[in-house]
Structure 1
Amino acid sequence: MIVAAKAPVLAIDGPGGSGKGTVGQILAQRLGWHFLDSGALYRVVGVVATRERVSLEDRPALARLATSMDIRFVPRTDGGAAAVLLHGGDIGDQLRTEESGKLASIVAAIPEVRSALLQKQHSFRRLPGLVADGRDMGSTVFPDAILKVYLSASPEVRAERRYKQLIDKGFDVNLPRLLDEIRERDARDAGRAVSPLKPAQDACILDTSQLDISGVVERVYGLLLQRRPG
């Protein structure tokens, strides 16, 4: 019998706005695999900590908060972003703001939080397989993934994509400020001491600047078929 720990993993990493979340969810639906948006886990920690007045400098309290969270991802039938359920309630709208992204980047740099969430991330690995997107899925969380993909794009392209997403959702955003925030988060994520943002040594690097989502999906799906025919 194949145990859950051997369930195949497709790891998709990259900076914010590279398209990894959308690509990961589409591929998970196509494959019939489970889906993990690891960035959402850190966003939830940041949002809930702020809501419950837990200081972002209180590392033990943040770690306890991360350990206690019951989070599930439920794909939507209309192809939209997967619902993020915290203790059974949809918290997705609270995670799509730029403020939640800033909070996520801050708590993600805390070793105690990363350690607390590592086992939770591993728990998503179940048969028939898992598509995991984040910033260290291939390099740290699932080093034995059957395929590791690192999606990249210029900060300008990623800022424009994020700007359009937020405008479509009714948010009032400023493109130059958004670009500055993306550059700041890139620097913070790449410079943190634990699991910094960088491609795994054996990752396939794909620049998505000139590709639409469907193009990226087909490229990654083709790479997966090469590793796992059929």
Structure 2
Amino acid sequence: MNKKITIAIDGFSSTGKSTIAKLLAKKYNYIYVDTGAMYRAVTLFAKNNDFVSTDALNKEGLISNLNSISLSFQFNEDLGFAEMYLNGKNVEKEIRTLEVSQLVSKVAAISEVRKKLVAEQQEMGTAGGVVMDGRDIGTVVFPDADLKLFMTASADKRATRRYKELIDRGDKVNFEDILFNVQERDRIDSTREDSPLVKADDAIEFDNSDMGIEEQFERICALVDDKLS
């Protein structure tokens, strides 16, 4: 099977986009690009340099320092997927905290940040054989992707999944805080001026509120195989 396609997975936060994308990349031997991790890494940089906080955003300061941000993915054989590196440092764990989650939509709404990351994402997918997930992959990054999925689920279900993930990791979090974060990110992502979260006209909507990973993966693999045939 030599044919290589581009798979774009968009959708709301905590819908399991990256989990499905990683599984697809492994099955079809594709490159996996976690665009959310890229935005989270820029957010971590902004937080660490006092450009963003829960009640402030120094947009000009961050924009003027974008050239000093170097992002890369490095494959971890033990984990079976690539981890996010910011200026040569592995920040995979740091970018998954609730603190970064609460700030990332602010940073992702900045046009200059999106322009920088979209250009890098498009470069990563030039040869096909890539599965990429995020908020604007099928509409902005790869409008001509061979297969577009739009993942959705109820806010309560998504908050429950995220809560369990953070608790299992050892983080001390409150469910109500997680639910508020999910709802707030939905609001910001859907209403921002630059590349708002919308379903591409030719994307397949995939509501996984009451669906386990195995069932999702099986159904999505069938869609991929159909495109490859």
TM-score between the two structures when normalised by the length of structure 2: 0.90
- Which amino acid counterpart does residue 169 of structure 1 have in structure 2? R
Residue pair 2:41, 2:84 contacting (<8 A) in 1 also = no
3-state DSSP class of the match of 1:161? helix
Does the CA contact (< 8 Å) of 1:151 and 1:208 recur in 2?
Answer: yes
CA distance in 2 between partners of 1:42 and 1:214 (Å): 28
Q: 1 CA distance for matches of 2:164 and 2:197?
A: 24
Q: Are 1:101 and 2:130 an aligned pair?
A: no
* Structure 2 residue aligned with 1:206: 206
| Cα distance in 2 between the residues matched to 1:184 and 1:105 | 9
CA contact (8 A) 2:38 2:84 kept: no
SS at match of 2:210: coil
3-state DSSP class of the match of 1:43? Answer: helix
Aligned residue in 2 for 1:4: none
Contact 2:51 2:61 (8 Å CA) reproduced: yes
- Three-state SS of the structure 2 residue aligned to 1:194 is coil
Find the counterpart in structure 2 of residue 22 from structure 1: 19
Give the whole-Å Cα distance in 2 for the aligned partners of 1:222 and 1:68: 42
Give unpaired runs (5+ residues) of structure 2: none
Secondary structure in structure 2 of the residue aligned to 1:123: helix
Instruction: Please list every run of 5 or more consecutive structure 1 residues that lacks an aligned counterpart in the other structure.
Output: 1-6
Aligned to 2:35: 38
Q: What is the Cα deviation at residue 71 of structure 1?
A: 2.1
CA distance in 2: counterparts of 1:211 and 1:75, whole angstroms: 29
Alignment identity in percent? Answer: 38
Aligned to 1:156: 156
Q: What do you get for the CA RMSD once the two structures are aligned?
A: 2.0
- Given that 1:46 and 1:100 are in contact with CA atoms closer than 8 Å, whether structure 2 keeps it comes out as yes
- Give the secondary-structure state (helix, strand or coil) at the position aligned to 1:149: strand
In 2, Cα distance between the equivalents of 1:33 and 1:63?
Answer: 32
* Residue deviations 1:86-144 (CA, integer Å, cap 9, x gap): 23321111111111112211011111211121111112115451110001100111001
Q: 1:8: how far off?
A: 3.0
Which letter does structure 2 place at the counterpart of 1:37?
A: D
Secondary structure of the structure 2 residue equivalent to 1:195: coil
Tell me whether 144-153 or 215-224 shows the greater mean CA deviation. 215-224
Q: Distance in 2 between matches of 1:13 and 1:117?
A: 16
Residues 139 and 93 of structure 1: is their aligned pair in 2 closer, same or farther, counting only changes over 3 Å? same
CA contact (8 A) 2:6 2:128 kept: no
Q: Judge conservation of contact 2:5–2:228 (CA < 8 Å) in 1.
A: no
Q: How far is 1:155 from its partner?
A: 0.3
Q: For 1:222, what is the secondary structure of its paired residue?
A: helix
1:129 maps to which residue? 129
Q: Which amino acid aligns with 1:122?
A: Q
CA distance in 1, matches of 2:15, 2:141: 20
Three-state SS of the structure 1 residue aligned to 2:104 is helix
